[in-house]
Structure 1
Amino acid sequence: MSLTIEGKTAIVTGAANGVGLAIARHFADKGANVMFADMDEARLQDEIGDQPEDTNIRYFAGDLRERLTIANLLSATLDAFDRVDILVNGSRQIMPSDPLDMDDDSVITLLNQNLMTSYRLSQLVAKRMIKQGCGQDEDASGAIINLSSIAARRTHPDLLGYSVSTAALDQMTRSMAVALAPHNIRVNAVAFGSVMSASLKGALKENAEFRGDIETRTPLGRIAAPRELAETVQFLASDGAGFTTGQILTVDGGRTLLDTVTAPAH
């Protein structure tokens, strides 16, 4: 079983910090050409800086909620690397929701950020992958990996918008997997529990006791490192997962086996 992604070209969104950055760096270390994409240009510049044209790293800054920005991201990737083989939809947002507040627009905000951005980018990239497969390389294939959350299956009222948006992302994953299977494009998702992401770091700074709550509700007794998630995403992007599509792979240290509604997942 080959887990290599060497020589393939990947777009990773949400790549300026946290989990997205860890995935993008991991892919680059494994020999893939990687376009780091995020709206935070200053952070991208700090993390990877300007790269010589002969390196396997580039970055793109822009608001991917805009259709034109998505098109420009794909164009920039093709200009740099000529093709795209892997898309990791890692751009996501977490914010609290009040289910009883009629003026709370968090559900709409999070559906736009966590679902529609991934959906539109997946559509555009998939069309490019299909075009690549119609060329001389009949074995050309593609892999799309969405970053989801166990919040899609757990109930916590304060995370209504986040839960709804990730549940929708899971269903999008399954639907697109079926639609793209005839083109040899696989679509999967990773639903993770508590990973040391940028948002979780912020939550732990505000409430130090939060760490203990998470650890006691996780059978493995710890918070995952972003690297561990990156390795899971690499598997789904590789030929080793060549017969895997439409799956929501849970990476949560066993948390969903025991979890209660009192400890939200990040």
Structure 2
Amino acid sequence: MSGQLAGKTAVVTGASRGIGRATAIRLATQGAVVAVHYASDGAAAHDVVDTVRAQGGTAFAVQADFGAVDGPDRLWAGYDERIKEFSADGHVDILVNNAATSVRATLEETKIEDYERMFAVNVRAPFFLIQKGLDRLREGSAIVNVASAVTRMAFPEVVAYGLTKGALNTLTLTLAQELGPRGIRVNAVSPGTVDTDVNASWLRHDPQAQEFVSQETALRRVGRPDDIAKVIAYLASDQAEWVTGQVVEASGGARL
């Protein structure tokens, strides 16, 4: 498929649904070969692959549980095995760290096992995925971390989740400096409230919740996965070749 990302390869973590799904499809429609990572829902991941292929793009699924210490190793092993079908050198041009888990709980309600899993999936996994992928990342490649607008707003009901996203912002800034000499750009995107499966229980089935979020947002609507995917695709493209170390909020102007 032709497009501004033709000839490039991309890895999108947590790509079986929501923002990850929208991002994988968008990158593929712009010409990239996309590795669709998933943790447990293989059917959903293969549906993304089928959707991409139906549109003339190229994608394949890779499984890895980021709650496990060897999660990043499993992803790269799966990637190395499958990418041979599509690329001679197996390098990566775009890495989107989107996979995340969240538990709604205040400080008093947070269980240590939930806290540890959130940090494992949301922080440890992207850190070591990048570390172990350094020899695969091509000179001039792009890393995009999916953070959250909760890092600039107080949300006591997701306090531990907010900590993980703050850590991801710090990682973004630090790695932009460290990897800059190789021409590797590292940026983060911070979504606000997005209509995804994760938010479905309180957002999709409650008109009052949708109205509340809309009224708290300058652009007066709830975010959609493709709203975020468009920003990620921009940061991954050569159009953003002079942008690095930035946290770009894509929230429609939430709580300005």
| Same fold by TM-score greater than 0.5 | yes
Q: Matches of 1:45 and 1:219 in 2, distance apart? A: 36
User: 1:29 matched to which residue of 2?
Assistant: 29
Superposed, 1:124-163 pairs within 5 Å as: 124-129=132-137, 132=138, 140-163=139-162
Query: 1:48-103 deviations in whole A, cap 9, x for unaligned?
Result: 35999x96211012212334342232233334232211100010112112312474
Q: Which residue of 2 aligns with 1:86?
A: 94
Percent identity between matched residues is 28
Q: Is the 8 A contact 2:63 2:74 kept in 1?
A: no
Q: Which amino acid aligns with 2:217?
A: T
Q: Secondary structure at the match of 2:62?
A: strand
Unaligned 5+ segments in structure 1 are 133-139, 258-266
Deviations 1:145-188 (A, max 9, x none): 00010011111211101111111111111111111111111110
Distance 1:99-1:4 versus aligned 2 partners, 3 A rule: same
Q: CA RMSD in A?
A: 2.2
Q: Is the 8 A contact 1:22 1:230 kept in 2?
A: yes
| Corresponding position of 2:107 | 99
**Contact 2:29 2:52 (C-alpha < 8 Å) held by counterparts:** no
Correspondence for 1:8: 8
CA–CA distance in structure 1, aligned partners of residues 13 and 230 of structure 2:
16
Distance 2:45 2:250 in 1: 27
* 1:1-266 matches, cutoff 5 A: 4-39=4-39, 40-49=41-50, 56-79=58-81, 80=83, 81=87, 82-101=90-109, 103-129=111-137, 132=138, 140-205=139-204, 207-257=206-256
SS in 2 for 1:255: coil
Q: CA deviation at 1:195?
A: 1.7
Once residues 99 and 26 of structure 1 are traced to their aligned partners in structure 2, the CA distance between those partners, rounded to angstroms, is 37
Q: Distance in 2 between matches of 1:102 and 1:96?
A: 8
Contact 2:9 2:91 in 1 (8 A): yes
**Partner SS state of residue 157, structure 1:** coil
206-215 or 228-237: which moved more?
Answer: 206-215
Alpha-carbon distance in structure 2 between the residues aligned to 1:171 and 1:37: 24
CA shift at 1:198, angstroms? 1.7
Contact 1:19/1:197 (<8 A) preserved: yes
Letter in 1 for 2:33: N
Normalising by structure 2, we get a TM-score of: 0.88
Distance in 2, Cα, partners of 1:51 & 1:207: 32
CA distance in 2, matches of 1:104, 1:160: 13
Aligned residues of 2:14 and 2:38 also touching (Cα < 8 A): yes
CA contact (8 A) 1:97 1:104 kept: no
Q: Are the counterparts in 2 of residues 145 and 187 from structure 1 also a CA contact under 8 Å?
A: yes
Query: How many angstroms does 1:201 deviate by?
Result: 2.3
**CA, structure 1 residues 158+123, in 2 after alignment: closer, same or farther (shift >3 Å)?**
same
Cα distance in 2 for partners of 1:153, 1:162 equals 13
How many residue pairs match? The answer is 245
Question: For each residue in 1:231-258, what CA deviation from the matched residue of structure 2 results, as whole angstroms up to 9, or x when unmatched?
Answer: 110111111111111100011111141x
TM-score normalized with structure 1 length: 0.85
CA distance in 2, matches of 1:24, 1:35: 8
**Cα gap change, 1:55/1:235 in structure 2, threshold over 3 Å: closer, same or farther?**
closer
Tell me which amino acid in the other structure corresponds to 1:154: M
* d(CA) in 2 for partners of 1:62, 1:206: 31
